[in-house]
Amino acid sequence: MKYKNTKNIPYYIYGKGAINQLKEVLKDGYRVYFIDHFFKNKDLINKLPLQNEDVIIYVDTTEEPTTEKIDEYKEYLVKINKSNPSTIIGIGGGATLDSAKAVANLLTNPGKAEDYQGWDLVKNPAIYKVGVPTISGTGAEASRTCVMTNVKTGLKLGMNSDYTIYDQLILDPDLTKTVPKEQYFYTGMDTYIHSFESLNGSYRHAVGDAFAREAINLCKEIFSSKDMMSDENREKLMTASYLGGCAIANSFVGVVHPFSAALSVVFKIHHCEANCITMRGMEKFYPREYKEFFEMAKKQNIEIPKLSKYIDKLDDEIVEKLYNSTIIHEKPLSNALRDNFKEILTKEKVKEIFEKMM
């Protein structure tokens, strides 16, 4: 067996109020901030060590990142400045953190974002970058990918590369206080889901397993408690998110994420909600985790959406799109179901699974 050379986050500052130390980790020169549009005109902006020459890009997270949007960000930055920034800072959830990572790669590598959707296609080191998550669960702050959808091809896939990993994190659980309850649950479940996918896959090793197990244990503590959003639990979830991101950097996801990606591509459902909808069809693949997931949702009084929220009927044309957008994810499906995954996930079987989500 050939073993993978694994890279995790080099540095992080963790704790309440850690955002106040952001200035200490920034490089000299002008900087570019990618900030979730939720924080526009909010108090958080006043905490940032902004310079006159710095650039702020508010990321509209109504929709998830597309390769076209990443190209637009790059072209805008190239147009307004002849030289690259010293630092790129991503402040927000997974969509914002991924956008910052993708642009940091694209500024030092030729071509377009779609050219780097895949594994280890990025050849040149990225711009130095700092990640500041304001919601916990996706693990984007700790993973080696930045997920984008190519609208033309229907491919939802990231720049999976060691150069994509953040150079520095600011992990401040105080920044997650304003997250709405449902979104907090959906996003937190991303950690639980990709961690158990990792543990149930064939590509794994002891270090990745340790990250995944602890992330799952923390999620169970958080979402089985009376108040999942207490100060203590928000700290735990920020830790779980980081560990879950490290886990998936050492492995691959499984069956849930390809089906979830199809929902995002075809219906533009946000990733974490799509994961939760997908869990309605996952009992056969992950029976224990399926049971635990719905028990935690019930405990927190969270109603898991159905696919019928977005469409009345799965006709043949939609099933074809869903099938193609699912089966294209060969690495995670091989990780979960081995190399004969296409024999298991026939078009009829895929349709049956999506029907369970209705």
Claim: this prediction has a pTM higher than 0.75: yes
For residues 58 and 76, what is the distance between their CA atoms, to the nearest angstrom? 13
Q: Quick check: 235 and 291 in contact, CB under 8 A? A: no
pLDDT per position as a tens digit, 220-250: 999 999 999 999 999 999 999 999 999 998 8
Domain borders along the chain are 11-176, 181-356
pLDDT score at 75: 97
Fold of the domain built from segment(s) 11-176: Rossmann fold (3.40.50)
CATH homologous superfamily of domain 181-356? Dehydroquinate synthase-like - alpha domain (1.20.1090.10)
For residues 259 and 290, what is the distance between their CA atoms, to the nearest angstrom? 15
Q: What is the 3-state secondary structure (H, E, C) of 53-107?
A: CCEEEEECCCCCCEHHHHHHHHHHHHHHCCCCCCEEEEEECHHHHHHHHHHHHHC
Take residue 323 and report the two structure tokens written for it. Answer: 């099938």
For residues 33 and 129, what is the distance between their CA atoms, to the nearest angstrom? 10
pLDDT per position as a tens digit, 21-30: 999 999 999 9
Q: Which portions of the chain are predicted below pLDDT 50?
A: none
pLDDT score at 1: 55
CA proximity to 351, closest of 333, 326, 330 = 326
For residues 202 and 7, what is the distance between their CA atoms, to the nearest angstrom? 20
157 DSSP β-pair partners: 148
Q: What are phi and psi of 125, to 5 degrees?
A: -55, 145
Take residue 310 and report the two structure tokens written for it. Answer: 């977005």
pLDDT score at 267: 96
Q: What are phi and psi of 110, to 5 degrees?
A: -70, 160
Q: How far is CA 211 from CA 132, 216, 354, in A?
A: 20, 9, 30
